[in-house]
Amino acid sequence: MPGYAERVKVVGIYIQGGPIGVVVATGGIRRVIEFRAVTKRFEDGTIAVDELDLTVEAGTITVFVGPSGCGKTTSLRMVNRMIDPTSGTILVDGKDVLTVDPPTLRRGIGYVIQQAGLFPHRTVLDNIATVPLLSGWDKRKARTRAAELLEIVGLDANFGKRYPAQLSGGQQQRVGVARALAADPPVLLMDEPFSAVDPVVREDLQNELLRLQAELDKTIVFVTHDIDEALKLGERVAVFQTGGHLAQYARPTELLAAPANDFVASFVGRDRGYRTLTFLHADVPVHPIDTAKLGERITVTDWTLVVDEENRPKGWLSGVDGEVEVREQDLISGGSLYDGTTLRGALDAALSSPSALGVVVDGAGAVTGVVQAGDVIQALAKARAAGEVPK
Amino acid sequence: MTWIFENWERFWEVTEVHLRLSVVPVLIGFVLSIPLGWWANRSQTTRAVLFPLANVLFTIPSIALIVITPVLLGVKILDEINVIVPLVVYTVALMLRSVADALAAVPGNVIAAANAMGFRPLRRFLTVDFPLALPVTIAGLRVATVSNISMVSVGALVGLGGYGQLFTEGYQTDNTPKVLAGLIGTVVLAVLADGLLLLIGRLLTPWARAGR
Ligand SMILES: Nc1ncnc2c1ncn2[C@@H]1O[C@H](COP(=O)(O)OP(=O)(O)O)[C@@H](O)[C@H]1O
Ligand SMILES: [Mg+2]
C-alpha cells in the first residue's frame, strides 16, 4: 500500500511539516519505507548490505535483528542518508531519498542513536528542542514542545534544566527518544537504543516504547542484536545474516514457528517453543482464591495468599496448623505475576509459584484469582496439538 | 615597588604597550587557529603538513624571529608589527594543536546524532563541535597568552616590548629596582590574564563541571 493515510488518532500534540516537503496541518502521515535491491560496499571492499529488498509497513515497529557486523546500522543509516547506497533505491513514502537534500530529509526522520548521543553542553530541554529549532520554530514554541515531550517520555519537568551528565543512562535514553520525537517525524530510526542500560531499565524502556507507539503510530525501524528484544517489540522482524543478507522477514510468531533456514533457527534459539507462548493468548480458567491480610487471625487449611491493603499480593502462607496470626516473617515469597494475557505469562506464574497456583493480577496489581499449573499445561498441549507451538 | 610608584606614568605607559603587544597577537592567532585546527582535524594530509610545520616554527627562538621579521616584511625597525607577527605565528603554532585535539575529542556519537538531526556543517561546527571543544581550547589559549606576555619583553631588543624596555634600561643604567619593576609587571599581568581566561572559560562552559 503506497501513499499515505491520514492518521486517525490525535495525541494532543501539535504537528509540524512532514519531511519531504509535505505540510500537514492536523494528524501525522504514515510512511512506508522500501528498500529495493540495496547494496552497500564500503571503499575497503566490505559488503555491508547485500541486495536488500524489504518493505517497512507504515505505522509498525519493524525490527532489524542479527549478530554484530551484519549490516543493520548501515541499512538504517541509508534511510536518512548518513550513508548512501552503492546501488539500489530507498523510497520513503514513494520518494527516492537520494533526491532529497540530507539535512532536510533528516529533520523529518527521528533518529535515536546508541548511548543516546545527547549534547553534553545543552540542557535536557534544549537537547529535546534541537530539531524544532533547526526547522525554524520560534524559541518559545520549541521550548513548550520540549517540555511536553519530557512528560510524554515519563520524565519529571525539573529534569529539563539539567545537563545530560546529571542523568542516569536510562534517563538519558528517554531524553534521546524525546529528542527524536520533538518535531513529530512520521518515521523513527532507532539504533540499539537500549543496549547500554541494565536489563531492568531496558525492560521499562521497551514497555514505554510500546506504550508510546500505541499512541503515536509512527513507522519505526528498530535495530538490535538481542532476539528477545526483537520478538518483544517487532510487529515484523527482519533477521540479518552475516554478510549483509536478509535471512528472513516475518512476524515473530512465524519466525518462531517456521524459521527460513538453520541460521534463523539457531539465532531465534532452541527454546523457541517457550518463546512462542509469549504470542499465544491464554485460554486458562481463573479460580478464586482465599486471601488474608497481615495481622489477621486465620485458620490456615491449604495455601493462603496474603495481600496488602490494596489487595496486592505479598506472599503465601502454608504449613501452619490451626488458628494463627498472619505475620510478615512467615510468608513464603511468590513467583512472577500473571496479567491474564499470554500463555507464557500464565506458565511462568504457575511454575514459579510455591503453591503451583499462578497469581493473576489486574492492571493495578490487585489479585483477581489464580491459575492452576495443570490447566496451563493442558492449554499448552492444546496449542501444540493445533500446531501453534513448534516442537 | 617604590620605583613603580615613583614612575607611575612611565610604568603605566609600558604596561599599555605590553598589553597591546601580547593581547593583539593572541586574538589574531586564536581566530586564525580555529579554521586551521578544523581543517587539520578534517584531513589527514593537512594534519600531516600543519603539525610538523607548527612544531618547527615553535622551535625557532623568539629573538631570531623578531629580528628577522622586519627584513622579511620590509617594515621599519620600530614598527609594532615586528613583534605582533612573530607572536601571531607562535600563537597559531600552539593553538592549532589545541583546537585540532579538542575537536578530535568531541564524542563520535554526539557528532553522529547532530548529523542525524539535520545540522548543516557550519551550524554544526558553531553550535556543537566548537562549544564542545571550548574547555581544551581555552586551556590552550591560557598557555598561549601567558607565554606571549613573557615573550613580548624580547621585543625590547628591537626597541619595543613594554616591560622589556624596563629590563634593558635598568640593566644598562645599573638600576635594579627598574629591572624588578619590569619583572613584577610581567608576572602580575600574566597571572591576571590567566585568571581572567579561567573565569571566562568557566562562565562559557557551565556544563563541563556538571558531573554526577
Ligand atoms: N565506514 C565503514 N567502512 C568500512 N567498513 C564498514 C564501515 N562501516 C561499517 N563497516 C562494516 O560493514 C559491516 C556492517 O556494519 P554495521 O552495519 O555497522 O553492522 P551492525 O550494525 O549490524 O553491527 C561490518 O563488517 C563493518 O565492519
Ligand atoms: Mg550497529
SS (H, E, C) chain B: CHHHHHCHHHHHHHHHHHHHHHHHHHHHHHHHHHHHHHHHHHCHHHHHHHHHHHHHHHHCCHHHHHHHHHHHHCCCCCCCHHHHHHHHHHHHHHHHHHHHHHHHCCCHHHHHHHHHCCCCHHHHHHHHHHHHHHHHHHHHHHHHHHHHHHHHHHHHHHCCCCHHHHHHHHHHCCCHHHHHHHHHHHHHHHHHHHHHHHHHHHHHCHHHHCCC
Q: Tell me which residue has its CA closest to atom 11 in ligand 1.
A: A48
> A246: which 3 cell numbers?
536478509
| Average confidence score pLDDT of chain B | 89
SS3 A190: strand
Helix (H, G, I), strand (E, B) or coil at A376: helix
> Rounded to two decimals, what is the model's pTM?
0.75
Q: Is A114 on the interface with B (CB under 8 A)?
A: yes
Which domains does chain A carry?
Answer: 2-108+185-279 (3.40.50.300), 291-385 (3.10.580.10)
Helix or strand (DSSP H, E) at A145: helix A139-152
- Top mutation candidate among A41, A42, A47, A245 for ligand 1, by most atoms within 8 Å of CB: A42
Distance, CA of A166 to CA of B133 (rounded, Å): 20
Give the residues surrounding ligand 1 with Cβ less than 6 Å away: A 42, 44, 46, 48, 66, 68-74
| B120 Cβ contact partners less than 8 Å away, ≥ 6 residues apart | A103
Banded model confidence at residue A23, pLDDT cuts 50, 70, 90: very low
What whole-number distance in Å separates Cα of residue A209 and Cα of residue A194? 11
CB pair distance less than 8 Å for A122 and B207: yes
**CA B36 to CA A381: how far, in whole Å?**
72
The sheet with strand A47-56 has its strands ordered as A47-56, A33-41, A87-92, A95-96
Max intra-chain CA distance, chain A: 80
Atom of ligand 1 at shortest range from CA of A46: 5
Here the contacts of B82-85 (C-beta below 8 Å, separation 24 or greater) are: B82/B155, B82/B158, B82/B160, B83/B21, B83/B25, B83/B152, B83/B155, B83/B158, B83/B160, B83/B161, B84/B21, B84/B24, B84/B25, B84/B28, B85/B25
**Whole-number mean pLDDT of chain A?**
85
Identify the H or E element spanning A264.
Answer: helix A262-268
Res B6: pLDDT = 85
Give A16's pLDDT tier (boundaries 50, 70, 90). Answer: very low
Confidence of residue B100 (pLDDT cuts 50, 70, 90): very high
Q: What is the pLDDT of residue B5?
A: 84
The minimal CB distance from B118 to the residues A113, A120, A131 is found for A131
Q: Which residue has the cell 542518508?
A: A81
pLDDT of the residue at A50: 95
In degrees, rounded to 5, the angle at the alpha carbon of residue A290 between the alpha carbons of residues A286 and A294 is 130
Q: Distance between CA A168 and CA B65 in Å, rounded?
A: 53
Chain Cα centroid distance, residue B4:
27
Residue of B79 and B169 predicted with greater confidence: B169
Mutate to test the pocket of ligand 1, among A40, A50, A65, A74 (most ligand atoms within 8 A of CB): A74
DSSP letter at A144 equals H
What are the pLDDT digits (tens) for A202-250?
A: 898 999 999 999 988 999 999 999 999 999 999 999 999 988 999 999 9
Tell me, what's the pLDDT at A390?
65
- The answer on pLDDT for B139 being more than 60 is yes
pLDDT at position A318 is 80
- At A270, is the pLDDT very low, low, confident or very high (cuts 50, 70, 90)? low
pLDDT at B3: 83
Cβ contact A170:A199 at 8 Å: no
Position in ligand 1 atom list of the atom nearest CA A49: 14
How far apart (Å, rounded) are the C-alpha atoms in residues B166 and B101? Answer: 38
Helix A373-385 vs helix A343-352: crossing angle, to nearest 10: 140
Q: Report the pLDDT value the prediction gives residue A391, as an integer from 0 to 100.
A: 57
Number of helices (H), then strands (E), belonging to chain A: the values are: 13, 17
- Cα-to-chain-centroid distance, residue A370: 28
CB-based contact A376:A284 (threshold 8 Å):
yes
In this complex, the residue of B109, B113, B119 whose CB is nearest that of residue A134 is B119
Residue in the block written with cell 533526491: A99
Mean pLDDT, rounded, for A77-105: 95
Domains and CATH numbers, chain B: 2-206 (1.10.3720.10)
Owner of C-alpha cell 640593566: B171
Q: Could B210 and A114 be called an inter-chain contact, meaning their C-beta atoms sit closer than 8 Å? A: no
> What is the position in ligand 1's atom list of the atom closest to the CA of A240?
22
Q: What is the DSSP letter of A381?
A: H
Task: Compute the radius of gyration of chain B from its Cα atoms.
Answer: 20
Can you tell me the distance from the alpha carbon of A258 to that of A231, in angstroms, rounded to the nearest whole number? 14
B109 neighbors A117 (Cβ within 8 angstroms): yes
Contact status, residue A345 vs residue A367, Cβ threshold 8 Å: no
Partner residue opposite A166 with nearest CB, options B112, B115, B210? B210
Confidence of residue B77 (pLDDT cuts 50, 70, 90): low
Residue B31 reports pLDDT greater than 90 = yes
| Residues counted in chain A | 391
